[in-house]
Amino acid sequence: MKANFKHAAALVGGIVIGGAVLLTGTPASAGNREAVLAANAGFYAALNKMFTGDIVPMTAVWSHADDVTYMGPTGGLERGWSTVLKDWESQAAMKLGGRVEPAEMQVIVGQDVAAVTDYEVGENTNANGKVERVKLRATNIFRKEGGQWKMVVHQTDKLPYLAK
């Protein structure tokens, strides 16, 4: 478990003392915070387009690196861009409709890595055509790549009607 804390601390620029991660380094500029919020908004716009079957915006907001991870509402753990993309394509094919928006966001921004925690609130349609209310906990981690904030981790609670 301590190795995981050390990895997380290194990721956001912190150290581990007594099991707690303490953030260190230079505080991010207000410009970085606004850019991370814009990247987060871009992800949710892409997610809502994905609900219509359009996967293209989702490919634009994600890093295409081998170290990205996705733990979505189906309950899986996908590693690497090619595998993550296949999961998103599978969900896009379901054309769940509806819309979700982030709520109660908490933002932590470092020099090159940022985390946003929030609730995803809205609705989708299940396989039986029933509209389902959605309220999931979510964590989004972004990394600055080529001057742009790209998603490298997305994790949510499971949705019973999507769980594998």
Structural tokens at position 99: 């819309």
Query: How confident is the model at residue 126, as a pLDDT?
Result: 82
Query: Is 31's pLDDT higher than 90?
Result: no
8 against 156, higher pLDDT:
156
Element (H, E) at 63: none
pLDDT in tens, 117-154: 999 999 998 878 899 999 999 999 999 999 999 999 99
Q: What distance in Å separates the CA atoms of residue 74 and residue 60, rounded to the nearest whole number?
A: 22
Query: How confident is the model at residue 17, as a pLDDT?
Result: 43
Query: How confident is the model at residue 161, as a pLDDT?
Result: 78
**Confidence class of residue 27 from pLDDT cuts 50, 70 and 90?**
low
Query: How confident is the model at residue 164, as a pLDDT?
Result: 64
Q: What is the mean pLDDT of the chain?
A: 86
Residue 123: phi and psi, rounded to 5, are -155, 155
Domains, the chain, with CATH or none: 28-156 (3.10.450.50)
Q: Which residue, among 157, 118, 143, 120, has the nearest Cα to 39 in the 3D structure?
A: 143
Query: How confident is the model at residue 1, as a pLDDT?
Result: 42
Percentage of the chain beyond pLDDT 70 is 82
Query: How confident is the model at residue 9, as a pLDDT?
Result: 45
Residue pair 44/57 in contact (Cβ under 8 Å)? The answer is no
